[in-house]
Structure 1
Amino acid sequence: MRHLFKLDPAKVLPDGAVDRLVRSGTDGFIIGGSDGLQMDAVQDLFRDFASRGLPVFMEVSDEAMIVPGASQYLIPVVLNTTDVKWLLGAHHGIVKQYGDFIPWPHVLVEGYCILNPDAKAAQLAKANTDLTESDVAAYASIAENMLRLPIFYIEYSGVFGDSRMVQAARDELVNTKLWYGGGIRTIDEAREMSEIADVIIVGNILYEDFEQALETVSAVL
C-alpha cells in the first residue's frame, strides 16, 4: 500500500467521482474529518465506497465515524498533544462504553504527530507543533520502540510539509509504517513525500482540483 485518498464526510465530491476514484489506481480510502461530522453523511459516504473492492478505513475521531463493516478502524493517538484527552482520555471513554462491541482484530492505532499549527486538527487536539527534527524523531522512536504502534502519521493538514521532518521520522522507523498527509497537490509533491514515507494520503485537493488529485496516484505507480 502506497497511496490513499482521504475523504471528508463534510465535503461534497464532484459528480461521477466515486467511479473515477476507484479506477484511479489508489490503494484505498480513509474516511475521516475533524469537524462538521454528521452520522448520515458518514454512512452515505461509506456505502458509496464499501462495495467497490478497495479497502475503506474509518478514522474514528468521533462517534459519528463508527460504521459497521469497514476494512479497518484507524484510532488516532496524538503523540504531541498537550491534552491527555487526545492521548488516551477519549479512547478510555469509548472503550468503557463500547468495548464489548469493538472488532479488535480490525483496529489499527495511528500515532499522530500534527505539525501545522493552523490546522483544525492541531487546534482541536491542542498539539504542540513547535517541534524540531529531533523532537519528531523522538516521537517516531516512541511509536516504534515503546508503544509498538503499526502507524506513525505525520500530519500537516492542509499545507505541504517539511520533508526534513518526515525524513527525521523515517530514520527512526523499522517496523512501524510511516504515513504522511498534508498539502499534497501535485505529482511532484506526491513523489517527494512518497520517496520518504511508506504511504501518502491525499485529501484536500480532491475538493479543490479533482483532476489534479487523480494525477497524484501516478507518483507511486
Structure 2
Amino acid sequence: MRHLFKLDPAKVLPDGAVDRLVRSGTDGFIIGGSDGLQVGAVQALFRSFATWDLPVFMEVSDEAMVMPGASEYLIPMVLNTTDVEWLLGAHHRIVKQYGDFIPWPHVLVEGYCILNPDAKAANLAKANTNLTEGDVAAYASIAENMLQLPIFYVEYSGVFGDKRMLQAARSELVNTKLWYGGGIRTVAQAREMAEIADVIIVGNVLYEDFEQALETASAIR
C-alpha cells in the first residue's frame, strides 16, 4: 500500500467521482474528518465505496464514524497533543460504551503528529506544533518502541509539509509504518513525499482540483 485518498463526509465530490476514484490506481480510501460530521453523510459515503474491491478505512475521530462493515478502523492518537482527551480520553469513553462491539482484529491505532498550527485538526486536538526535527524523531521513536503502533502519521492538514520533519520520523521507524498527509496537490509533491513515507494520503485537492488529485494515484507506482 502506497497511496490512499481521504474522503471527507462533510464535503461533496464531483458527479461520477466514485467510479473514477476506484479506477485511479489508488490503494484504498480513508473516510474521516474533523468537523461537520453527520451520521447520514458518513453512511452514504461509506456505501458508495464499500461495494468496490478496495479497502475502506473508517477513521474514528467522532462517534458519527462508528459503523459496521469497514475494512479497518483507524483510531487517531495525537501524540503531540497538550490535552489528554486526544491521547486517551475520548478513546476510553468509546471503548467503555462500545467495547463489546469493537472488532479488535480490524482496529489500527495511528500515532498522529500534527504540524500545521493553522489546521482545524491542530486546534481541535490542542496540538503543540512548535516542534523541532528532534521532537518529531522522539515522537516517532515512542510510536515504534514504547507504544508499538502500526502507524505513525505526520499530518500537515492542508499545507505541504517540511521534508526534514518527515525524514526525522523515517530515521526512527522500522516496524511502524510512516504515513504522510498534507497539501499534496501535484504529481511532483506526491512523488517527493512518497520517497520518504510508506504511504501518502491525498485529501483536500479532491475538492479543489479533482483531475489533479486523480493523477497522484498513479504517480508513485
Which TM-score tier does this pair reach, normalised by the shorter chain? over 0.9
Q: Aligned partners of 1:174 and 1:93: how far apart in 2?
A: 31
The aligned counterpart of 1:73 is 73
Question: For the Cα contact (< 8 Å) 1:194–1:219, is it kept in 2?
Answer: no
The CA RMSD measured in Å over matched residues stands at 0.4
The aligned counterpart of 1:149 is 149
Letter in 2 for 1:58: M
SS in structure 2 of the partner of residue 178 of structure 1: strand
Q: Deviations over 1:65-96 (max 9, x none)?
A: 01110000000000000000000000001111
Is 1:135 aligned with 2:144?
Answer: no
The aligned counterpart of 1:11 is 11
Instruction: Give TM-score scaled by structure 1 length.
Output: 1.00
SS in structure 1 of the partner of residue 6 of structure 2: strand
Give % identity. 87
Q: Aligned partners of 2:98 and 2:33: how far apart in 1?
A: 21
Question: For the Cα contact (< 8 Å) 1:119–1:157, is it kept in 2?
Answer: yes
SS in structure 1 of the partner of residue 64 of structure 2: helix
Q: Aligned partners of 2:16 and 2:217: how far apart in 1?
A: 18
Shift of 1:55: 0.1
Q: Aligned partners of 1:108 and 1:218: how far apart in 2?
A: 26
Instruction: Give TM-score scaled by structure 2 length.
Output: 1.00
Structure 2 residue runs of 5 or longer lacking an equivalent are none
Q: Deviations over 1:26-70 (max 9, x none)?
A: 000000000000000000000000011100000000000011100
Q: Aligned partners of 2:219 and 2:178: how far apart in 1?
A: 17
The aligned counterpart of 1:164 is 164
The aligned counterpart of 1:55 is 55
Q: Deviations over 1:4-44 (max 9, x none)?
A: 00000000000000000000000000000000000000000
Q: Aligned partners of 1:113 and 1:58: how far apart in 2?
A: 19
Q: Aligned partners of 2:74 and 2:26: how far apart in 1?
A: 18
Q: Aligned partners of 1:170 and 1:101: how far apart in 2?
A: 35
Letter in 1 for 2:192: E
SS in structure 2 of the partner of residue 5 of structure 1: strand
The aligned counterpart of 2:90 is 90
Question: For the Cα contact (< 8 Å) 1:74–1:110, is it kept in 2?
Answer: yes
Structure 1 residue runs of 5 or longer lacking an equivalent are none
Q: Aligned partners of 2:37 and 2:12: how far apart in 1?
A: 13
Letter in 2 for 1:104: W
Where does 1:20-35 land on structure 2 (aligned, <5 Å)? Answer: 20-35=20-35
Letter in 2 for 1:32: G
SS in structure 1 of the partner of residue 148 of structure 2: coil
Q: Aligned partners of 1:162 and 1:187: how far apart in 2?
A: 17
Q: Aligned partners of 1:44 and 1:66: how far apart in 2?
A: 13
Q: Aligned partners of 1:89 and 1:64: how far apart in 2?
A: 17
Q: Aligned partners of 1:98 and 1:134: how far apart in 2?
A: 37
Letter in 2 for 1:100: D
Q: Aligned partners of 2:158 and 2:43: how far apart in 1?
A: 24
Question: For the Cα contact (< 8 Å) 1:136–1:165, is it kept in 2?
Answer: yes
The aligned counterpart of 1:100 is 100
Q: Runs (4+) of structure 1 moved beyond 2 Å? A: none
Shift of 1:219: 2.0
Q: Aligned partners of 1:51 and 1:66: how far apart in 2?
A: 18
Q: Aligned partners of 1:54 and 1:68: how far apart in 2?
A: 16
Matched length: 221
